[in-house]
Amino acid sequence: MLLNDYINRIEREGVEMTAKLILIGGFLGAGKTTLLSKMAYIMTKNGNKVGLITNDQASALVDTALLEKISANKEGVVEVSGSCFCCNFPGMQKAVSYLKDKFAAEYIIAEPVGSCTDLSATIVQPLKKYAQDTFIAPLSVLIDPQRLINILDNKIGDLHPSAAYILEKQLDEADNIVINKIDLLTAETVENLKKRTIARWPTTSVFAISAQTGTGISEWLFDVLAEQKAGMHLAEVDYDIYAEGEAVLGWLNTSFEIKGNQIDCEALLRSLLSGLGERFDGSQVAVGHVKAIVIAKNEAVVGNITGKKETLQLRGSAVKADEATVIVNARVEMSPEQLKAIVIEEIARVCKDKVVKETALKCLRPGRPKPTYRFDAVI
């Protein structure tokens, strides 16, 4: 059954229609924004009004720019920046209220910061108490299959031990574990991975999808919208380890405008991300994610790296133009100063024959999480 058929069935047979909030967590590089894009496109095409909330420690988000391009109405995309949802719960509440009351959204899809955990205690439980007029869907956590295999095998893979701890805690608190990128796996591997995941988290629902192709999204979404119990698991989180796991990453958000003669947007983006990938690989540092988008002539090409350079992927419409806007977000295991120097150098390299105007630049190391609320029991 197609996704829009599931949505129609939900509206006929499910709970009484009110704004439905779908929270999709998951570690950096899991594919959350790709999933949001796919959901928003299909649901909007089906005639549903969909609001989207992005979240980050700083503004100038690739996710926001990308979702605004896909959304039928930019007013339906709200960015909560400056801190994570859990540490700025009023900011999240304000975004939800705006999308419900001003934008009249039927569905609101929110994407928390990828390095955040303890979402059930600090976001879902408070929402259940303070947003009782909103349908809160079960907490879904998206996971990259290789990183899931590492957790199941008690390995940290390419992550710092404290970052791997965050990823594991995200899975511990999930109502739904959603294994993504199954288009890269054999059917046998997918089934084996699902069985291992169910054995490790027996009270959690497990789904397998491809956000890229759309496979499995309908089944997962139907369950999410039909189930009326959310935040049924609370993880035991050591905030010292959690804080270290976030602090090992340097965070950089920058945006700039470029002018030149018939700029090849796809070639520029590929060169920039390839160069960054080579630099990070050469320094032997782990990459949470590097995302970049080039917007020109109302078209956009977006790319990302979720590990080594070979994970580079590009998608979208490639155009040539004399002017373009570029946004880069990087989360890499190095100091903010090192990260900033490398990104600026690579931007200078690919833009050496162009006029560059920086419009935003922030580089930081996240501070210790200080949630607005933290519930110690499921309500």
| Per-residue tens of pLDDT for the chain, all 379 residues | 345 554 565 555 544 447 899 999 999 999 999 999 999 888 888 888 999 999 998 888 999 999 988 776 788 999 999 999 999 999 999 999 999 999 999 999 999 999 999 999 999 999 999 998 899 999 999 999 999 999 999 999 989 999 999 999 999 999 999 999 999 999 999 999 999 999 999 999 999 999 999 999 999 999 998 988 999 999 999 999 999 999 999 999 999 999 999 999 999 999 999 999 999 999 999 999 999 999 999 899 999 999 999 999 999 988 899 999 999 999 999 999 999 999 999 999 999 999 999 999 999 999 999 999 999 999 9
Say whether both 112 and 163 belong to one domain: yes
What is the residue type of 130? Y
pLDDT of amino acid 339: 98
Instruction: Give which of 201, 7, 179 is closest to 107, Cα–Cα.
Output: 7
Helix (H) / strand (E) element for 98: namely helix 89-101
Instruction: Give which of 370, 357, 288 is closest to 329, Cα–Cα.
Output: 288
**Residues recorded for the chain:** 379
- Asked if the structure places residue 104 within a domain, the reply is yes
The token pair that represents 295 in the structure block: 């917007």
What is the dihedral sign for C-alpha 220, 131, 106, 34? negative
Say whether both 106 and 131 belong to one domain: yes
- Last residue of some domain: 245, 272, 304? 245
**Which 3 state secondary structure label does DSSP give 26?**
strand
- Last residue of some domain: 245, 279, 298? 245
Say whether both 49 and 89 belong to one domain: yes
What CATH number has the domain bearing residue 334? 3.30.70
What is the residue type of 303? G
Say whether both 193 and 314 belong to one domain: no
Q: What are the φ/ψ torsions at residue 223 (nearest 5 degrees)? A: -65, -45
Per DSSP, the residues of 302-356 read EEEESSSGGG-EEEE---EEEEEEEEEEEEESS-HHHHHHHHHHHHHHHTTTSEE
Range of the domain at 303: 249-364
Say whether both 71 and 174 belong to one domain: yes
Predicted TM-score (pTM) of this structure: 0.92
Instruction: Give which of 149, 159, 121 is closest to 25, Cα–Cα.
Output: 121
- Asked if the structure places residue 372 within a domain, the reply is no
**Which 3 state secondary structure label does DSSP give 13?**
helix
Cα atoms found within 13 Å of the Cα of residue 64, Cβ hemisphere only: 22
What CATH number has the domain bearing residue 104? 3.40.50.300
- In angstroms, rounded to a whole number, what is the distance separating the alpha carbons of residues 153 and 323? 48
Number of domains comprising the chain: 2
pLDDT of amino acid 45: 84
Say whether both 46 and 77 belong to one domain: yes
**Which 3 state secondary structure label does DSSP give 176?**
strand
The token pair that represents 332 in the structure block: 């890499």
Say whether both 316 and 196 belong to one domain: no
- Last residue of some domain: 219, 245, 271? 245
Say whether both 44 and 178 belong to one domain: yes
Adjacent-strand bridge partners of 323:
259
Say whether both 222 and 258 belong to one domain: no
- Residue pair 327/362 in contact (Cβ under 8 Å)? The answer is no
Helices (runs of H) and strands (runs of E) counted in the chain: 13, 14
- In angstroms, rounded to a whole number, what is the distance separating the alpha carbons of residues 338 and 284? 13
pLDDT of amino acid 1: 39
- In angstroms, rounded to a whole number, what is the distance separating the alpha carbons of residues 238 and 269? 39
- Asked if the structure places residue 291 within a domain, the reply is yes
- Region label for 255, one of left (φ > 0), alpha (ψ between -120 and 50) or beta (otherwise): beta
Say whether both 238 and 267 belong to one domain: no
